[in-house]
Amino acid sequence: AKQSGRGVARVFDESMDESIRFRRRIEGGLAQALERGELSLAYQPIVAGHDLEIVGFEALLRWNTEEFGPVSPAMFIPIAEESNLIHELGDWVLDGALAELAHWPGQYVSVNFSPRQFRRHNFVGHIVERAQRAGVEPHRVQIEITETAIFDDADRAAETLYKLRQMGFRIALDDFGTGYSSLYNIRKFALDCLKIDRSFIDGMGRERESAAIVHSIVHLGRSLGLTVCAEGVETEAQVQALRLAGASHLQGYFFSRPVIAELARDMAAERYMH
Ligand code: C2E
Ligand code: CA
Ligand code: CA
Ligand code: CA
């Protein structure tokens, strides 16, 4: 029994080693990704529920490495988030997304910010400066943050959001419904949009609970005067259910996957999703 116990311990140690080594390699690779030109941005259209006009695009970071192939942001963003690398990557994303606006007739760009970026000293000044430098009107920029970013230090977050909104930026609360926000508390925050997490849209057709949650988020958003964007819309049935429920914005593979900048420009010029 003792022997097998040691065996288990050794296997465990080795797999720990392995994952730490992997992390380090990702970290090292990320640090060089910028200068190596391995990063790019993909854009996914966000359409208005009533007429399927493309009103904006979400910018999503892509990393294609020689060593690992394409790496998902869901895997490398949390690693970058643990160091100052996130600021460098985030600035690159923001500048790229702002520059892209010049190629679209009027749509906004929605940019993801991690909690660490959002809590950065003088975040507002930073965003304002970069938008000014790019010659971009704030109302064409939507800032996506998660509940995690704002509920840890709610008072400070509320002030940051208030200032951003006063400057004219749009604010979206991403992955809404998955965090630990109380519905009561979201009144404190200057928001424009709730993005309903994909998991609820996915469950809509199968579980009554998901459909009920979607309906209550839409209702909540509307009664607070916010737009409500459903993420991860994949089927026609979901589109119909969401339009019926009153979701003001839709986003997902049903309309388009995130695409390279050049394709997004064509879509932006087309304006309507079919
Ligand atoms: P997110 O912000 O919730 O972005 C939505 C994710 O869902 C994207 O994955 C998108 O490609 C995917 N998606 C969109 N429509 C559908 C659909 O119909 N079905 C399914 N199954 N998936 C759909 P992606 O691009 O892999 O990004 C994953 C996460 O990585 C993002 O989740 C976001 O949290 C983070 N991320 C991506 N780019 C950035 C960035 O520039 N900065 C920061 N801080 N985080 C980013
Ligand atoms: Ca997002
Ligand atoms: Ca999301
Ligand atoms: Ca997500």
pLDDT tens, position by position, 206-243: 889 999 999 999 999 999 999 999 999 999 999 999 99
> What are the pLDDT digits (tens) for 110-125?
999 999 999 999 999 9
**pLDDT at site 7:** 57
Alpha carbon distances (Å) from 135 to 55, 99, 106, 138: 20, 9, 14, 9
Ligand 1, atom 17, lies closest to the CA of: 232
**Is 70 exceeded by the pLDDT of residue 142?**
yes
Ligand 1, atom 25, lies closest to the CA of: 60
- Region 160-177: mean pLDDT is 96
Q: 112 near 59, Cβ under 8 Å? A: yes
Whole-prediction pTM: 0.94
**pLDDT at site 46:** 98
Long-range Cβ contacts of 85-88 (<8 Å, 24+ apart): 85/27, 85/30, 85/31, 86/114, 86/116, 86/117, 87/116, 87/117, 87/120, 88/34
- Residue 1 — pLDDT band, cuts 50, 70, 90? very low
Q: State whether ipTM is beyond 0.90.
A: yes
Ligand 1, atom 29, lies closest to the CA of: 74
CA–centroid distance, residue 111 to ligand 1 (Å)? 11
HSE of 252 in the Cβ direction (CA atoms, 13 Å)? 23
**Is 80 exceeded by the pLDDT of residue 180?**
no
* Ligand with an atom nearest the CA of residue 46: 1
* Ligand with an atom nearest the CA of residue 197: 3
What share of the chain in percent tops pLDDT 70? Answer: 93
